[in-house]
Structure 1
Amino acid sequence: MSTLLLRFAGPLQSWGDDSRFNHRRTYSIPTKSAVIGMIASALGRDRSANVEDLVALQLGIRVDQPGEIISDFQMVHGPKQADVTNRDYISDAIFLVGLMSEDRGLLQQIINALAHPKYPLFLGRRACPPSYPLIIGIREKPLEEALLAEPWLASTWRQPQLNSELRIVLEGNADSIDSLQHRLRDIPISYDPRNRIYQYRYVREAGHVNKNKTAQTEHDAFEELE
């Protein structure tokens, strides 16, 4: 098994959860539909394209820097009235994203696409471009092992403020009885705006304590303003 590791970081991220009406919420970690959508966009696939090969990838998320949820108030102007909408974002977060597959060639194809994307990349919403490096590389390890082995990505100045236990969320099993499992409705069947279809998947929580983690990034959301 091979696992592709990606670094999702930026001033803002937003991962669509149960957004309805005037409140656009965000889930606390990247969703599978958003990760697959980013890859499909990089590959140049349109919204009606088949994504079964990408959905088959096993997804794992490690929360290296959880960030904080903030809300933005926006006005949406209609033909007769203007409505206020609340949009939630995660500020200053860093996630280690793993994608596991037996097809190493597909993972390399994804790397090439992310390095030279057909369409712009964003972390959930168009207003959330990723910071770089985005691509960490391919590890010849199973998903969980690869996530556990990678050095801590949290910013040096934030490390003393963070818990030593990293939250890890992995693909679950519908046949398993596990109190740490829950369901997310984030498997994309169709991105077609006229017929969006998502199905449920099981995910399970895991954790790993390593007090000797070392930082691999100096992420500062405001460094470009200096």
Structure 2
Amino acid sequence: MAEYLVFTLCAGMAAMGDLAGHERRGTLTWPGRSAVLGLVAAAAGTRRDDTQGLARLEQLRVAVGVIDDGVPLRDYHTVETIPTAAAKRPDSRPVAILAAGRATNTAITLRDYRVGVAYAVALWGAPLDGLAEALTRPVFALYLGRKSCPLSAPPAPRRVDAAGPVMALAHALLPPFRPFGRIRLVASDERIAADDVEDTRNDVAIDRGKWHFASRAVYTHRPARGEDEA
């Protein structure tokens, strides 16, 4: 048995970053390690430049249980871009636009979202003190991806003892408006069963201020009926 912190992430819209491109930003079907730990950091009031605070969170192990990965939504919008020659080393974007005058360009960009998502999250492997309290009374607003994607219900964190991450995730509390749903897939930092599928995700934060990330192994596990029952 080990101690876990479990909570839920439900949102009307979510954007769980993919490789960033200028014209398109896709979304994955569940939040990665950097997204989960970034949300916990926001709840605790840990800022991007607090390297020691972020390093403590990086010691945690993470498992995400997919209850509902929602449906895809694509948003089209425009971005005004500024040629480098038109405004060199500006103090701000408004200053750059003003300096560029009529030399700006307009590009259509695509942003992908998932609508109506619900996930369970388990954290373990490092001290959990204070994290449940932070998620209950977050310092900063919690959102799932972009700031336009706030959570639709409180995370409802709880500390539990369980034989593994799948059993721990079964203790996650869904909000009243989502009373039904079982965990269909678990994406974990650690292998849960011998037949888990190993993949790679680029979601280990190296420098959150500079948006630098590294790759890691992620193991996807599909719980059998009854395996995910607390």
- The residue that corresponds to 1:93 in the other structure is 117
Structure possessing the higher radius of gyration over alpha carbons = 2
- The residue that corresponds to 1:53 in the other structure is 56
- The residue that corresponds to 2:169 in the other structure is 147
- CA deviations over 1:181-205 (Å, ceiling 9, x no partner): 011110112111xx33211111111
Distance 1:77 1:102 in 2: 44
Q: Does 1:180 align with 2:197?
A: yes
- The residue that corresponds to 1:63 in the other structure is 66
User: What does 1:1-226 correspond to in 2, within 5 Å?
Assistant: 1-50=2-51, 51-78=54-81, 79=97, 80-105=104-129, 109-141=130-162, 142-148=164-170, 155=178, 166-172=184-190, 180-192=197-209, 195-210=210-225
Distance 1:200 1:10 in 2: 26
% identical aligned pairs: 22
Structure 1: state its 5+ residue gaps: 215-226
Distance 2:190 2:138 in 1: 30
Whether the 8 Å contact between 1:121 and 1:129 is mirrored in structure 2 is yes
Distance 1:203 1:127 in 2: 27
After TM superposition, the score normalised by the length of structure 2 is 0.77
Whether the 8 Å contact between 1:61 and 1:98 is mirrored in structure 2 is yes
RMSD of Structure 2 on Structure 1 (CA): 2.8
- CA deviations over 1:162-185 (Å, ceiling 9, x no partner): xx7711111146xxx977101111
Tell me the secondary structure at the aligned position of residue 88 of structure 1: strand
Distance 2:183 2:171 in 1: 14
Whether the 8 Å contact between 1:144 and 1:170 is mirrored in structure 2 is no
The alpha carbon displacement at 1:208 in A equals 1.5
Structure 2: state its 5+ residue gaps: 82-96, 98-103
Distance 1:65 1:72 in 2: 21
Whether the 8 Å contact between 1:148 and 1:208 is mirrored in structure 2 is no
- CA deviations over 1:122-157 (Å, ceiling 9, x no partner): 11110000011312311112323212565788936x
Judging changes above 3 Å, is the alpha-carbon distance between structure 1 residues 152 and 44 closer, same or farther for their aligned structure 2 residues?
Answer: closer
